[in-house]
Amino acid sequence: DTEVTQTPKHLVMGMTNKKSLKCEQHMGHRAMYWYKQKAKKPPELMFVYSYEKLSINESVPSRFSPECPNSSLLNLHLHALQPEDSALYLCASSLKAGTSYEQYFGPGTRLTVT
Amino acid sequence: AQKVTQAQTEISVVEKEDVTLDCVYETRDTTYYLFWYKQPPSGELVFLIRRNSFDEQNEISGRYSWNFQKSTSSFNFTITASQVVDSAVYFCALSLDNNAGNMLTFGGGTRLMVKP
């Protein structure tokens, strides 16, 4: 089963709110990723976790805070976001963080910041 | 730095037509991996294929086929007898063989519209 789940599917939040996005996989994958995708653009990598440790942070603003509580779960905590942060946030996982492993993506959370 | 170019931003075909999506990549590395992903309107990226730089054998999977040519740095994707369900955005992506994690460089995507 190549399934990555994400909740919520849609989220509307104000600039002063705190919210969290959740991602889960039960494929035994040890690498998990957060991507941001704006309309009509390809996904942009934000964070990579390998064996529950943050291995890559693509210079993402601190208002985005990732967390990997265990090998199956990945969270993205949001605080004091800006309207330009409105986008589709995609989670992905792969067997390991090596380049030969394909990534499996979740359906995404469509975030609107008002 | 690596780069992936998908020159076709939008393609429109009528059902049952064949269609080829182009992908051209740039890298100085000799070991790399190429991918195709499909993104339907629902938003989820669906993995279609992975190719490593040492395997130039073309692949066929049902109505889908891929043509990898290192001489022209291209990894093109053909859908035979297209169907309405093939309507989606298709991304070609490249990753390098290093320890910096599985970082995909995506092309800009090609939006395919298959009309009945």
Of A50, A97, A107, the CB nearest to B44: A107
Residue A64 CA neighbour count, 13 Å, CB half: 19
B42 in reach of chain A (CB within 8 A) = yes
Kindly report the nearest CA distance between residue B80 and chain A, in angstroms. Answer: 24
Of A40, A56, A110, the CB nearest to B101: A56
pLDDT, tens digit (0-9, with 9 covering 90-100), for A10-65: 999 999 899 999 999 999 999 999 999 999 999 999 999 999 999 888 889 999 99
116 residues of chain B, pLDDT tens digit each: 889 999 999 999 999 999 999 999 999 988 899 999 999 998 899 999 999 999 888 889 999 999 999 999 999 999 999 999 999 999 999 998 765 566 889 999 999 999 99
Of B44, B102, B109, the CB nearest to A105: B44
Q: Which residues of B touch A108 (CB under 8 A)?
A: 43-44
Confidence of residue A2 (pLDDT cuts 50, 70, 90): low
B94 in reach of chain A (CB within 8 A) = no
Q: So what's the pLDDT on residue B100?
A: 58
Q: Determine contact, residues B5/B30, Cβ cutoff 8 Å.
A: no
**Does the CA dihedral B82-B48-B32-B103 come out positive or negative?**
positive
Q: What is the DSSP annotation of B31-67?
A: SEEEEEEEE-TT---EEEEEEETT----EEETTEEEE
Distance CA B17, CA A99 (A): 34
Q: Determine contact, residues A89/A108, Cβ cutoff 8 Å.
A: yes
Contacts of B62 (CB under 8 A, 6+ apart): none
**Smallest CA–CA distance from B45 into chain A, residue:** A105
Instruction: Give the pLDDT mean for A66-92.
Output: 96
Q: Which residues of B touch A105 (CB under 8 A)?
A: 37, 44-47
Q: So what's the pLDDT on residue A93?
A: 94
B27 in reach of chain A (CB within 8 A) = no
Kindly report the nearest CA distance between residue B23 and chain A, in angstroms. Answer: 14
Q: So what's the pLDDT on residue B25?
A: 97
Residue A10 DSSP code:
E
CB contact under 8 A, A108 and B103: no
Q: So what's the pLDDT on residue B102?
A: 65
Distance CA A85, CA B57 (A): 42
